[in-house]
Amino acid sequence: MMLAQEEPLRHVAYLHDGTLEGLLCAVFLAYERHEEPEDVVAEASYEPRLGQSCVHVATDFERASRVRRGVERAVGKRAFTAIMRASTCDDRETGRIVLSFIRYCMARPGSLRNSPVLDELANPAVADLRRLEKRALNEAEKMRQFARFSHLENGIWFARVNPNASVVPLVMNHFADRLNDQPFIIFDEAHGLSGVYDGRAWQLVRATAVDVPEATDHDRTMQEAWKRFYDALSVDARYNPELRRHFMPVRLWRNLAEMHPRGSEGTAVRAASRQGENRIVSA
């Protein structure tokens, strides 16, 4: 008996779990259902449109791997790396841009398979993805510059960050190389995501809040020394607050020891959010 094929939906949003794998599964589903979704977004940030249907996309790692292999086979690993970076952006259009880019990559004629697709900036699908990739890389660079670690009494180094994109996965290798065998946690309070490194390998953990021990006395001393060093380098005659805000965005100041008054704890480790049920406990 032949089963009637489901008609493609015209006004539809694909809702995924907010991970790269979830986004790739949404791409897989768009091909499978022959649909062109108006929105491809994380379910937590979805804002319904009038008359729009919703499809909840289940995360399937095999399907995500198939999409990844297809992209790498068609246009190379560098293009997939650009997709991975772009997917960290908070832009509502991120999912749709990734889908459009993948469609363009897979539809390129065979004669162009050896030419770098990311150089085709005249094509809107490529230009939009490169714009998101650049935004993610800029935000990752800010995290490398402005993440401030505190040494906790349990021996773990802890940094609280609040980036404009979910770039913790993009900076974990950097900090793992530099801290070497020192365990650390980078908690992205804006996206509810933590990078946890045990001295050998790192992993990502979803958490809406963290409970952490006190910073060590030595750490508090070093923070005060860092504040004094920061103040000593300032030149009153060249004070330029606009330039400082340009290179050091105000939204990052609350996690910077040097931007807290002397005698305060700086990184505000004890001010961890108590909201939410998911927590990382560093005991």
Residue whose entry in the numeric block shows the structure tokens 């510059």: 145
pLDDT at 279: 44
C-alpha–C-alpha distance, residues 18 and 235, integer Å: 45
For 43, half-sphere exposure in the C-beta direction (CA atoms, 13 angstrom radius) is 12
Q: What is the percent of the chain with per-residue pLDDT over 70, rounded to a whole number? A: 88
Q: Which helix (H) or strand (E) holds 107?
A: helix 94-107
- Tell whether pTM > 0.85: no
For 27, half-sphere exposure in the C-beta direction (CA atoms, 13 angstrom radius) is 31
Q: What is the percent of the chain with per-residue pLDDT over 90, rounded to a whole number? A: 61
Higher-confidence position of 116 and 129:
129
pLDDT tens for 163-175 read: 999 999 999 999 9
pLDDT at 281: 40
Residue whose entry in the numeric block shows the structure tokens 């990382």: 280
Q: Domain ranges in the chain? A: 12-139, 155-206, 217-282
pLDDT at 137: 97
C-alpha–C-alpha distance, residues 103 and 68, integer Å: 13
pLDDT at 274: 37
Task: Tell me if 228 sits within 8 A of 262, measured CB to CB.
Answer: yes
pLDDT tens for 202-255 read: 999 988 888 888 889 998 889 888 888 888 888 888 888 888 888 888 888 888
Higher-confidence position of 83 and 230:
83
Q: Which helix (H) or strand (E) holds 39?
A: strand 39-42
Which pLDDT band holds residue 265 (cuts at 50, 70, 90)? Answer: low
